[in-house]
């Protein structure tokens, strides 16, 4: 298996297609996990790459992987992802390519949404247009569709040339955000209630068709991007730190950003949350040190070599 895995990659479209071909020998869950992993790595590489040709090639590979995931229902971020029927994500309404006006309306609908979704939606529409054109004989209809597609292709070309994917604000998992102090600002409270609520259940894709109570015209994904832009500008202007130098905890301004499910340093935030989780049982330990039964029940998810093995050894002595 290691030999096959070493051949997986994303340097260009050809490599991405080759990777998908190699993955056909594996079960679907493994294929989805691998493709998601490659996508994440490819997007990180993009942020460090300046060569235009390399950017173009990697972007094309990303497009191949994103299209494959969309076609195979692999978009859910959870390891225990539900089936499409159980967690069906609604399509953003109004997207189309039947003519120039429809294409321009599409770009307007996609404006301010997550860049990775903009690219995915546009590529999906262009792909659909080719299938429609192949079955259309009416010349006027064909010309109208081609005009619409040209608008979309022009947008995509500019998108790739400007490397707009760098502006994508990847979602911090709800499971991470929920373990930190809750927001005080009402809109942030409502956003997190939507993100972790009964409909979205931590799947950010649902936020594209969910709306705040006071604004039924602007979906949560757009509201989020606007709020993040304001906070990032404030952090830049104030030259504010993201973490306390002594405790390592996120600063108040950074915490406001996290409440919109975003952080420029996700690994550091996750590490801090894990550190908090480890501290919790340690605080309970003195209270239950005289009672071996309560000590073991408090340690609900620790490993065999965890701290509660120490008092057991002392008792034997």
Task: Give yes or no: residues 185 and 256 share one domain.
Answer: yes
pLDDT for 6? 55
230 inside domain:
yes
Task: Give yes or no: residues 44 and 19 share one domain.
Answer: yes
Ramachandran area for residue 136 (φ above 0: left; ψ -120 to 50: alpha; else beta): beta
pLDDT for 281? 58
Give the residue with greater pLDDT, 297 vs 31.
31
Residue 144 has pLDDT above 80, yes or no: yes
The 10s digit of each residue's pLDDT in 8-37 is 899 888 888 889 888 887 778 778 888 888
| Burial of 191 per CB tally in 10 Å (0-12, 13-18, 19+) | buried
Work out whether the CA dihedral 168, 172, 174, 177 comes out positive or negative: negative
213 inside domain:
yes
105 inside domain:
yes
Q: Indicate the number of domains in the chain.
A: 3
What's the mean per-residue pLDDT of the chain? 83
Give the residue with greater pLDDT, 314 vs 191.
191
Residue 265 has phi, psi (to 5 degrees) of: -130, 70
The 10s digit of each residue's pLDDT in 235-249 is 999 999 999 998 899
Task: Give yes or no: residues 159 and 178 share one domain.
Answer: no
Residue 270 has pLDDT above 90, yes or no: yes
pLDDT for 193? 97
Write down which residue in 264, 283, 304 finishes a domain.
264
Task: Give yes or no: residues 119 and 190 share one domain.
Answer: no
Task: Give yes or no: residues 156 and 206 share one domain.
Answer: no
Task: Give yes or no: residues 29 and 105 share one domain.
Answer: no
300 inside domain:
no
Residue 260 has pLDDT above 90, yes or no: yes
Task: Give yes or no: residues 185 and 241 share one domain.
Answer: yes
Task: Give yes or no: residues 125 and 154 share one domain.
Answer: yes
Write down which residue in 149, 167, 185 finishes a domain.
167
Task: Give yes or no: residues 142 and 189 share one domain.
Answer: no
311 inside domain:
no
2 inside domain:
no
The 10s digit of each residue's pLDDT in 184-233 is 999 999 999 999 999 999 999 999 999 999 998 999 999 999 999 999 99
pLDDT for 179? 94
Lowest mean pLDDT among 15-24, 52-61, 155-164, 297-306: 297-306
**Which residues lie below 8 Å from residue 107, measured CB to CB, with a gap of 6+?**
151, 152, 155
Q: Count of CB atoms within 10 A of residue 284's CB?
A: 13
pTM, 2 dp: 0.65
**Which residues lie below 8 Å from residue 101, measured CB to CB, with a gap of 6+?**
148
Task: Give yes or no: residues 138 and 189 share one domain.
Answer: no
CA distance linking residue 64 with residue 58, whole number of Å: 10
88 inside domain:
no
40 inside domain:
yes
Task: Give yes or no: residues 198 and 259 share one domain.
Answer: yes
Q: Count of CB atoms within 10 A of residue 173's CB?
A: 18
Domain assignment of residue 34, given as a range? 7-71
Residue 161 has pLDDT above 90, yes or no: yes
Task: Give yes or no: residues 135 and 203 share one domain.
Answer: no
Write down which residue in 141, 167, 193 finishes a domain.
167
């Amino acid at each position: 298996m290691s030999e096959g895995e070493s051949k997986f990659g994303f340097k260009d479209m050809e490599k991405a297609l080759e990777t998908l071909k190699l993955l056909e020998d594996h079960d679907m869950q493994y294929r989805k996990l691998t493709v998601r992993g490659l996508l994440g790595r490819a997007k990180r590489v993009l942020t460090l790459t300046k060569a235009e040709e390399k950017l173009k090639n990697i972007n094309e590979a990303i497009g191949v992987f994103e299209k494959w995931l969309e076609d195979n229902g692999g978009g859910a971020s959870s390891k225990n992802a539900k089936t499409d029927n159980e967690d069906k994500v609604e399509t953003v309404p109004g997207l189309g390519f039947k003519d120039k006006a429809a294409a321009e309306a599409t770009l307007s609908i996609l404006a301010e949404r997550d860049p990775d979704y903009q690219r995915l939606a546009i590529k999906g529409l262009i792909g659909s247009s080719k299938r429609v054109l192949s079955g259309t004989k009416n010349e006027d209809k064909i010309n109208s569709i081609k005009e619409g597609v040209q608008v979309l292709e022009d947008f995509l070309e500019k998108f790739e040339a400007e490397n707009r994917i760098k502006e994508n604000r990847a979602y911090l998992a709800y499971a991470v955000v929920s373990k930190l102090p809750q927001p005080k600002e009402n809109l942030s409270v409502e956003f997190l209630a939507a993100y972790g609520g009964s409909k979205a259940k931590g799947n950010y894709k649902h936020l594209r068709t969910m709306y705040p109570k006071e604004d039924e015209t602007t979906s949560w994904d757009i509201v989020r991007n606007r709020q993040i832009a304001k906070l990032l500008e404030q952090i830049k202007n104030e030259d504010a730190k993201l973490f306390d130098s002594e405790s390592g905890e996120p600063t108040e301004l950074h915490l406001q950003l996290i409440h919109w499910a975003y952080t420029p340093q996700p690994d550091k935030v996750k590490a801090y949350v894990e550190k908090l989780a480890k501290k919790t049982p340690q605080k309970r330990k003195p209270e239950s040190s005289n009672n071996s039964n309560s000590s073991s029940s408090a340690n609900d998810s620790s490993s065999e070599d965890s701290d509660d093995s120490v008092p057991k050894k002392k008792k034997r002595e």
